[in-house]
Amino acid sequence: MSGHGLHSHPPHEEIVHHSAEHDAHHGGRHSLSQWVAIFTAILAAFGAIVSYQGTHLMNEVLLHKNDAVLEKAKAADQWNYYQAVSTKLHMMELAVVLAPTKAAGFQEKIAKYQKQKVSIQKDADDMESKSEAANRESAHLNRPHNDLEISMIFLQIAISLASITALTRRKWLFIVAIISAGGGIGLWATAIFLM
C-alpha cells in the first residue's frame, strides 16, 4: 500500500484472487487450477526422486566404467611386462645356441623366465576378466539410467503442460499432462525393475 491510498498486487496474486472468486461462485468445488497445482506439486516431488535415483545410478555406471579402465591399464602393464620377460627368455635361448659351452648357466635363467611368463600371463588374464566384468556391469546399469532420464523428460513435459493448463484452462492439455506423467512413471517403474 502506498502513502496515497493506492494498493497494487503483483500479477500472480491477481490470478490467485480471481481463482478464489471463481471457486466461491462454483459452490466451493475444486477448480481446475487447484487440481493442476496439486498435480504439479506431486510431479515435482516425484521428479526429485527420479532425478536423485538417476544421479545415483549414473555415479554407479561411472564407477564401474572407471574400474574397467583401471583394470585394462593394469592388464596392459602386465602384458608389457610379459613381453619384456619373453624378450629376455628369447635372448637366453639365443645365448644357448650361440654359446653352447655355457648353456648350463643359461638354462637356469630360461626356466626362471618360463615360470615368470606363466604367472604374468595368469595375472594379465585375470585383470582383463575384471575389466570385462566391470564393463558389463556398467552397461547393465546404463540401461535403467537411460530409462530414468527419459522418465524425467516425460515428467517435465507433464509439469509444463500442467502449467499451460493453469494459464489457458484447457482441460484437454491437463489430460495430455496426465498421460505424459503416466509414461514417465511407467518408465521409472521399468528402470527400477531393471536395476
- Give 44 or 28, the one with higher predicted confidence: 44
This prediction has a pTM of 0.66
State pLDDT tens for residues 87-118. Answer: 999 998 888 888 888 888 888 888 899 999 99
Q: Which of 10-14, 93-97, 148-152 has the highest mean pLDDT?
A: 148-152
Answer whether residue 3 shows pLDDT above 70: no
What is the rounded CA–CA span in Å between residue 137 and residue 157?
A: 31
**What pLDDT score does 1 carry?**
47
Is the pLDDT reported for residue 74 higher than 60? yes
Which residue reads 521409472 in cell numbers? 188
- Residue 113 CA, chain-centre distance (Å), reads 45
> What is the rounded distance in angstroms from the CA atom of residue 185 to the CA atom of residue 23?
31
Q: Is the pLDDT of residue 5 over 60?
A: no
> H or E stretch including 36?
helix 32-98
**Residue 172 half-sphere exposure, CB side, CA atoms within 13 Å?**
0
C-alpha 73, offset from chain centre: 23
Least confident of 1-5, 51-55, 85-89, 142-146: 1-5
Q: Is the pLDDT of residue 180 over 60?
A: yes
Q: What is the arithmetic mean of pLDDT over 50-54? A: 91
